[in-house]
Structure 1
C-alpha cells in the first residue's frame, strides 16, 4: 500500500513541509514520485520515519540519524534495542525526579525529613549518567573500573556544601583559563594557578591524586575532541590545549 504525503503526515504527526525537507536532504525519500510530482510512501518508508522520530525524541541531530540509518551494520533489531536502552535510561531518570518531587512535597508539608543530600541526589545522578554516556568508556579504559567507580561513588555521596564548593572551583578554573587564553603575554605563574585549580577540582572526586594521572587526563583533553570542545566552548578556542600544556608542565 502506498500513502500520499498528506496521508503520511496525518498518520505520523509530521508536517508535509518536514517530509519534503527530509526528502531534500535524502533522509527520507518517497518510494515513488508520479508524473505530477506527488510523493508516495510505502511501508518501508513508514518504518524508516518511525526510526527517525525515535532518534529525534532522543535529541539526535538529523546528520547523526542519517549516518546511523545509512550504516549497513545497523540492523532494525540493533536500532530498536538502542532505542529501548535509551528510553529505559530516560525513564529511570524521570522516576528519580518524580521520587525527588514527592519527597520534597512531603518535606514541605511536614510529613518527612529530607537531608540536603537527598534534595540534590536526582540531579547529581543525571549528570553522572551524562558523563558516563559521553566519556565513560574512554575513562574506564585509561584508569580502570575500580578507580572510576570510586570517583562516581564520591560524586553521588558528596554533601551539598562540597558540591557547591566543587561548582565554584570549576567556575574559577574556567574564568582563569578564559583570561589566560586571551592574554598576549602568558605568564608562568598564571599557568601554575590554573593547574592548582584543576587539581583542587579533581580532588573532590579522586580518592587519591597523582601527577601522572593528572597528566594522563590532560592528554585526553586533546586526544578526544569531546573534551576539547567542552573547554573550548567555555573558555575560548585553544583553551583545552592551554590547559593540557599547563598541566604537563606544572602538575
Structure 2
C-alpha cells in the first residue's frame, strides 16, 4: 500500500524535508507521484529507506550511500548481514565502555584503584567507523590492506593490537605538551607510524594527511582527545614534522 510522504515521515521518525532532500539528490525517489504532486512511497521504497538509514547509522555519507545502493552488484540481504555484524561489534564495544565508566566512577570515589590500561578499556581505533572517509581521501589500497590483515588475525591477536594502540595513544598523551619537533615527540610518533604500517601502507604524505584528518574531523578529534585534551592537534603537528623529515 502506497504511503504519502508525511505518513512515511511519521512512521520512520524523520522529517518530511529529509525525505524531500533524498528525492532531490536521487537517493530515494518515490515510485509514484500523483498529478497533484503528492509523493507516494511503495513497500520497495520503504525497504530502501530502511537500508539508507542503516548506512547512516554507521556514519556513511549520503553520497557514498547513493553509490552503494545504486551499484548493480548491491545485495540487500548481504548488506543487512553486514550491518548486523558491525552493530553487534559496536554494541560489544559500548558495553565494555559502559563497564569502564562504572569502574571509573568507583575509582573516583576511592572504592577501587584502576590501572592506566583499565582506564581505556573499550577504546579501539583499529577498526574505526569512518573507513569511508579514508577510502575517499586515499583510495582503497591502504584501507583494504589493513582490513585484510585484521580479518586474518585471531581475536587474541586483534586484542593485542588494540592494547598496543591504546598504549601508544596513552604515551603520546603524556607528552602532548612538548614540542612536536622534539626528539621525544618524534620518537613517539615514529612508533605510531610503524604501528600503522604494520597494518597497511601509509607512506609519509598519507601519514601527514591522516594527522590532518584527526583535527579536521571532529569525530576523530573527540575520540583521540579522550586520551588527553589537545592530543589530536599534537599528533597532527608531530606527524607533519615526521612526514617532512622522511619524505
Report the TM-score, using the length of structure 1 for normalisation.
0.66
Structure 2, unmatched stretches of 5+, are 135-141, 217-232
Hey, what's the Cα distance between the residues in 2 that align with 1:62 and 1:92? 26
**Contact 1:221/1:244 (<8 A) preserved:** yes
> Corresponding residue for 2:104?
104
> Corresponding residue for 1:227?
210
**Within 5 Å, which residues of 2 pair with 1:64-143?**
64-108=64-108, 111-122=111-122, 125-130=123-128, 137-139=144-146
**Contact 2:189/2:242 (<8 A) preserved:** no
Hey, what's the Cα distance between the residues in 2 that align with 1:49 and 1:137? 28
Secondary structure, aligned partner of 1:40: strand
> Corresponding residue for 1:16?
16
The structure with the greater share of residues assigned to helix is 1
Hey, what's the Cα distance between the residues in 2 that align with 1:4 and 1:201? 55
**Contact 1:9/1:15 (<8 A) preserved:** yes
Secondary structure, aligned partner of 1:114: coil
Structure 1, unmatched stretches of 5+, are 177-192, 208-212
Secondary structure, aligned partner of 2:95: helix
Report the TM-score, using the length of structure 2 for normalisation.
0.67
Secondary structure, aligned partner of 1:129: coil
Structure 1 position 154 matched with structure 2 position 164: yes
Hey, what's the Cα distance between the residues in 1 that align with 2:59 and 2:71? 19
Q: 1:60 to 1:226 in 2, by over 3 A?
A: farther
Q: 1:137 to 1:107 in 2, by over 3 A?
A: same
Q: Report how many aligned residue pairs link the two structures.
A: 213
Q: 1:131 to 1:154 in 2, by over 3 A?
A: farther
Instruction: Tell me the alpha carbon deviations over residues 214-249 of structure 1, each in whole angstroms, 9 at most, x when there is no partner.
Output: 9x9662634x896375379569xxx9787435214x
Larger Rg, first or second structure (1 or 2)? 1
